[in-house]
Chains A and B, each alone.
Chain A
Amino acid sequence: MTIVETPEPRQMMVVYSRADRIFRRIVTGGALTSLLLLGFITAFLVMRSTETFREFGLDFITGSEWFSAGEDPLGGAVEGAVEEVDKSVFSIGPMIVGSLVVALIAMLIAVPLSIGGALYIEFYAPRSIYRVLVSLLDLAAAIPSLIFGLWGIQVFTAIGVRWATLLNDRLSFVPIFSVEFENFGRSPFVAGCVLAALVVPITTSVSREVYSRTPRDLIDTCFALGGSKWGAIRSVVMPYGKSGVIAGAMLGLGRALGETVAIYLMLNLVFRYSFEILDSAGGNVASMIALKFGEATDKEISALIASGLVLFIITLIVNMIASSIVARTTPRA
């Protein structure tokens, strides 16, 4: 009787060719560099903001006061103020809320527009202008936000104020549409509209891309079942593209949350919690940092960097929520 011994699993060795090894090192290096950069940025933000967080704690996020006691620019003690306690208070609650409010307004306007635009280009636009529309869209996505801000001030504000007046007239019983003073310019609503214009190209572009990848077969099947074009879009194209559209919207939301220049030009930053979106007072973390950085004291700079860290974390959270939504809504084939 022979006993067959179960052999030990063999080691499988792979010898990479020279070209393979070099290429491997290049791509690994590239990946590591970007990871390291991200790590360094995070470390910088955390290190420079500890001072602020240690002093103000959670109040930094929830409070609504920003006051810099100031320093002698020459470094010497201000006369008569030598023994005085530093009265500086830094907190960015209204700016965080403001960022979210303006971004939300922008998304509420931009997402339906983007979906409509993407469906039009992909399924209704005449073939002769299809290419043109697609490249125009990509071009629009690359326009610097400063241009949108300038257009916002010069052109759109007049229109936006008219819309705001209308909303206030008809819907002022809804708390968010009521105002104390009828001054609608530089309000979160108008700024949100401009932000929507800024976001629409990128979300439309992503949505169009995913819609265009709907299997032709599935669309044909809808037609073969006696369905209309709208039927096919509703039962196949939109469900198929849902996760991609959400991803596109999140990309837009990321842009809206971090937008600096356009908001800087379009919005009055006021350190006061306000949910009256037509009122000419709002907040935005990124613009606030840009606004204050130039003349900030050392202590204030730490607070501004802390604000940057908060913005960074908010964006991270939004992105994580987004990818979990995308993962949950992706249809399994």
Chain B
Amino acid sequence: MTQTQITTSQGTNQQSGETSKFIGLETQGVHAWFGKHHALSNVSLRFPERTVTGLIGPSGCGKSTFIRLLNRMHEFIPSAAMAGSVLLNGSDIYAPEEDPAMIRLKVGMVFQKPNPFPAMTIRENVLAGIRLAHLKRSNHDEIVEQCLTRAGLWKEVKDRLQASGGSLSGGQQQRLCIARSLAVEPQVLLMDEPCSALDPGSTLRIEETIKELAEKITVIIVTHNMQQASRVSDYCAFFLTDGGPGYLVEADATRKMFTNPTDSRTADYVQGKFG
């Protein structure tokens, strides 16, 4: 079992009296299927809190499938199935008593293509999650300013909060989407290639945002861009497929993955020899 073993001190010193539980997100022996197609095999990974983990690997190796397993979005695809467990601060998010909607409040997601809600203003977009999840919040103005600030967008839009979300540039739209995810105060933010549709300048802005976010929350980002992985992530996990189900090759601190990986395939991939 390959794991990122560098757990933070918060992760091990629990005073619950029970066996110490891992703080952050953890997967244990996770598999995924679409009908009979086995898409992902036996992935065990730990994402310590307040870190950024990059998921890298060639297309079709199950990274996106894996990330959608982490907030129970996987099950929206008809015939999708999974095995193993995903633990958030020690409790299984696939336990029968868990409400998937509550899980998704704790584990937010930003998608590949910037997708602000077209019929809503910038302000309404930020507050959309609060309305959708029926959260009781009275300080809407504060939330809008705070989330847009954390997403690095406040200064650019503070004078036009009533403008349509679609009136922003692509990079601004993606930061608006990040702000929208932050408004429901997630503990973990999943990002599925959040910069693949953006220009290099916007990409850098988002990367800065990601680093700032990691001061408070756990970020897991799928990326095809090796430079991006090395710039933003603390840890990296390398996925691969040999035609069969995707699997985890290795996971470690990003610096080690890029300079001295254990597996030769990792070295080849991060150096751009395939993929």
Residues of A within 8 A of B (CB): 127, 215, 217-218, 220-228, 231-232, 235-236, 239-240, 242, 331-333
Contacts and interface: CB of A to CB of B under 8 A. Distances in A.
Given A225-B184, A235-B128, A218 B115 contact: yes
Contacts, number: 80
B119 A226 contact: no
Interface in B51-78: 71, 73, 76, 78
Interface of A is mostly: helix
A225 B135 CA distance: 11
Interface string B93-124: 00000000110110011010101011110000
A226 B100 CA distance: 8
Given A231-B132, A332-B164, A224 B118 contact: no
Interface residues of B, number: 28
B118 A225 contact: no
A228 B105 CA distance: 11
A218 B129 CA distance: 12
B101 A217 contact: no
Interface centre among A218, A226, A333 (most CB of B within 10 A): A226
27 contacts: A215-B115, A217-B113, A217-B115, A220-B111, A221-B117, A223-B76, A223-B101, A223-B104, A224-B71, A224-B109, A224-B111, A225-B108, A225-B128, A225-B129, A225-B132, A225-B184, A226-B104, A226-B184, A227-B101, A227-B133, A231-B133, A235-B120, A236-B117, A239-B118, A240-B118, A332-B166, A333-B118
Contacts of B131: 231, 235
Given A226-B105, A227-B101, A218 B184 contact: no
Contacts of B129: 225-227
A235 B132 contact: yes
A227 B108 CA distance: 11
A231 B184 CA distance: 15
B186 to A, nearest CB: 9
